Chains A and B, each alone.
Chain A
Amino acid sequence: TQLLEQSPQFLSIQEGENLTVYCNSSSVFSSLQWYRQEPGEGPVLLVTVVTGGEVKKLKRLTFQFGDARKDSSLHITAAQPGDTGLYLCAGPKAAGNKLTFGGGTRVLVKP
């Protein structure tokens, strides 16, 4: 059983459309990270959210951490083909720096 559930699993949209990816858990996390992974590469960190209710923006990407720190969302405005990839959320487990990852959302932005 994964502690972090991501939805949807796959999203295909046209260039210029908006999309939202969700990351949910029944557990409280001290922080959550969002990574993007492109084919043939390892995940690359996009952002870390720490405070409940926090909103962070990275160009056209908006990340939100739920008030109860159990969920997070990633919203992309006016998606571009360069946004194509696997989006992963991850959070630290109880002790140390071990990360548990969600199953990922595969995003395809068609030109």
Chain B
Amino acid sequence: EAGVAQSPRYKIIEKRQSVAFWCNPISGHATLYWYQQILGQGPKLLIQFQNNGVVDDSQLPKDRFSAERLKGVDSTLKIQPAKLEDSAVYLCASSSGEYRGEEQYFGPGTRLTVT
């Protein structure tokens, strides 16, 4: 079974530029998550989708971050404009969405460096 795919793996941009990340979850998984992991810290949830609807985006900086999950499968996360403090690894995860506390499967992440 294929795992969660993310691209690109690495991205370097200058501040005030825009960037987009792509995620393809495990086939059949209804729930998709985007996390931000700053170096030396645990992942922080940015947004959670159930199918193509947003369940939680309370920690998403909506003035610069946006995310969508068209057709309830792939998802994109965009930052515009980027700030230095956005430098982090952006992790996508998916789960079946069947029960609380279930395992989440993570992709390898996209390492973003903002200079």
List residues of A whose CB falls within 8 A of some B CB. 2, 4, 6, 9, 30-31, 33, 40-45, 48, 50, 88, 90-92, 96-104, 106
Nearest CB in chain B: distance from A32 CB, A: 9
Give the residue name and chain of the B residue nearest to A95 (CB): B100
Give the contact stretch, choosing among B14-22, B42-50, B62-70, B76-84: B42-50
Whether B12 sits at the interface, judged by CB under 8 Å, is no
List residues of B whose CB falls within 8 A of some A CB. 4, 31, 40-45, 48, 55-56, 91, 93, 95, 97, 99-104, 106-109
Partner of B31, one of A2, A88, A97: A97
Closest 3 A/B residue pairs (Cβ) = A42-B106, A101-B42, A31-B101
Instruction: Tell whether, in the assembled complex, residue A48 and residue B103 are in contact, meaning their CB atoms are under 8 Å apart.
Output: yes
Give the residue name and chain of the A residue nearest to B48 (CB): A98
| Cα distance A106–B39 in the bound complex, in angstroms | 11
Instruction: Tell whether, in the assembled complex, residue B4 and residue A42 are in contact, meaning their CB atoms are under 8 Å apart.
Output: yes
Instruction: Tell whether, in the assembled complex, residue A40 and residue B108 are in contact, meaning their CB atoms are under 8 Å apart.
Output: yes
Instruction: Tell whether, in the assembled complex, residue B106 and residue A99 are in contact, meaning their CB atoms are under 8 Å apart.
Output: no
Q: Which residues of A contact B97 (CB under 8 A)?
A: 97
Partner of B55, one of A88, A96, A106: A96
Instruction: Tell whether, in the assembled complex, residue A42 and residue B44 are in contact, meaning their CB atoms are under 8 Å apart.
Output: no
| Cα distance A71–B91 in the bound complex, in angstroms | 26
Q: Which residues of B contact A33 (CB under 8 A)?
A: 101, 103
Q: Which residues of A contact B102 (CB under 8 A)?
A: 97
Q: Which residues of B contact A6 (CB under 8 A)?
A: 42
* Known interface pairs A96-B100, A97-B102; A42-B107 also in contact (CB < 8 Å): yes
| Cα distance A69–B107 in the bound complex, in angstroms | 29
